């Protein structure tokens, strides 16, 4: 193991951009599918990666195509037990990855369409979280992500329905295909969520039409405290300055499909460029069971290799994960102290 690989794998990590439905490893996916009598076109992990890469010819993501493939995997979730199992499975993997803290997204609308009530989803996520914390020492908070291609009224109804479970959800987000002018469309949802005290984030995907307009809308109209992806901000100096002035964090994902030999150098250059300009950006795995880049440690290792990034740069990306976390100041300070102590203890000759 090289010095850089040892440094990345050994350091304690935070992960802020990961979808629980995208963490289902092949064995568990096939087990749940069999339990729920769901026929899948996959027989192995290799089949899953091939399915995600089908039809793609370059590193720039085709979001609709990716979500179609992801839907095949998350279609197996038909009961509360399934959500408990995938939560426990992810937190077990966190122990291997040295992820000590995670903020994990879930899509309630996907489960509702498949017959899993919101109460059943939340009870299962809570049960899985408690078991994972007990067995693996991983702290997790949940972000409920609404789907941008679904009606805004649906999101408002769900937001109202989760009132009894308010303390289980740290933040509200948006994901799924990016529709035109989505910040204005979902402004009522974010206004209601802000009134209830939720933290706010939204996906602004990379290489999507009107990216700058959408990023600006998320900042000015939705009032987000974080943006998931958001890399095209680097194309507009005024937007970069807004991110810095308002201390809005970005969650970058240097992921790759199975057919790629490395992380997209262009996307990575956008991430490092934003970091150098002073934007609070971290690196995350997104949907690790579906991407060729895999879980967080390997994703970080490949990003470092692609960009020949220094120890200082990698440490800053990773430390930003804890700085960006939606945690009380004392908990955040404790994690940062542990991170800094580990950095000092782990030797790496450049």
pLDDT tens-digit map of 144-174: 999 999 999 999 999 999 999 999 999 999 9
Q: What is the pLDDT of residue 57?
A: 72
- Give the C-alpha separation, 246 to 117, whole Å: 37
Strands (DSSP E) contained in 162-308 are 169-175, 199-204, 226-229, 249-252, 281-283
pTM, rounded to two decimals:
0.95
- 140 assigned to some structural domain: yes
Residue among 150, 145, 162, 153 at smallest CA distance from 200: 145
Q: Answer whether residue 349 is part of any domain.
A: no
Q: Between the CA of residue 136 and those of 131, 238, 340, what are the distances in Å?
A: 8, 43, 22
Give Cβ neighbours of residue 3 (< 8 Å, ≥ 6 apart).
Answer: 347, 348, 349
Give me the pLDDT at residue 61, please.
Answer: 62
Higher pLDDT, 47 or 130: 130
Q: 253 pairs with which residues across the strands? A: none
**Domain-embedded: residue 332:** yes
Task: State the residue for tokens 């308010």.
Answer: 166
Confidence at residue 350, expressed as pLDDT on a 0 to 100 scale: 42
Output the domain CATH number for residue 270.
Answer: 3.20.20.140
Determine, yes or no, domain membership for 320.
yes
Kindly state whether residue 350 falls inside one of the protein's structural domains. Answer: no
pLDDT in the model for residue 1: 57
Condensed to tens digits (0 to 9), the pLDDT of residues 268-311 reads 999 999 999 999 999 999 999 989 899 999 999 999 999 999 99
State both tokens at 17: 């951009």
Structural domain span for residue 134: 3-344
Residue 64 falls inside a structural domain: yes
Q: What is the pLDDT of residue 146?
A: 98
Q: Give a yes or no: residue 237 inside a domain.
A: yes
What is the Cα–Cα distance from 109 to 144, expressed in whole angstroms?
Answer: 10
Number of domains within the chain: 1
């Amino acid at each position: 193991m090289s010095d850089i690989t040892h440094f990345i794998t050994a350091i304690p990590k935070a992960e802020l951009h990961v979808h629980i439905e995208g963490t289902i490893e092949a064995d568990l996916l096939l087990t749940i599918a069999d339990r729920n009598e769901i026929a899948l076109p996959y027989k192995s992990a290799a089949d899953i990666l091939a399915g995600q890469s089908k039809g793609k010819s370059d590193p720039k993501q085709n979001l609709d195509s990716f979500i179609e493939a992801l839907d095949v995997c998350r279609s197996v979730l038909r009961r509360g037990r399934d959500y408990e199992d995938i939560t426990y499975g992810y937190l077990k993997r966190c122990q291997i990855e040295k992820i000590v803290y995670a903020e994990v997204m879930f899509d309630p609308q996907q489960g509702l369409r498949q017959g899993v009530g919101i109460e059943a989803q939340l009870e299962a996520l809570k049960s899985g979280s408690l078991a994972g914390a007990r067995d693996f020492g991983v702290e997790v908070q949940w972000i409920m992500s609404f789907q941008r291609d679904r009606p805004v009224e649906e999101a408002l109804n769900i937001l109202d329905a989760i009132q009894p479970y308010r303390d289980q959800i740290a933040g509200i987000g948006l994901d799924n295909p990016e529709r035109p002018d989505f910040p204005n469309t979902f402004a009522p949802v974010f206004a209601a969520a802000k009134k209830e005290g939720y933290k706010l984030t939204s996906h602004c995907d990379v290489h999507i039409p009107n990216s700058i307009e959408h990023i600006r809308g998320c900042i000015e109209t939705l009032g987000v405290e974080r943006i998931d992806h958001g890399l095209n901000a680097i194309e507009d100096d005024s937007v970069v300055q807004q991110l810095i002035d308002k201390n809005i964090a970005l969650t970058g994902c240097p992921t790759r499909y199975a057919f790629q030999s490395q992380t997209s150098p262009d996307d990575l250059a956008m991430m490092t460029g934003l970091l150098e300009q002073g934007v609070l950006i971290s690196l995350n795995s997104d949907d690790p069971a579906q991407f060729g880049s895999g879980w967080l440690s390997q994703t970080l290792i490949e990003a470092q290799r692609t960009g020949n990034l220094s120890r200082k740069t990698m440490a800053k990306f990773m430390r930003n994960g804890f700085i960006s976390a939606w945690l009380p100041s004392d908990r955040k300070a404790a994690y940062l102290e542990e991170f800094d102590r580990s950095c000092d203890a782990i030797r790496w000759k450049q």
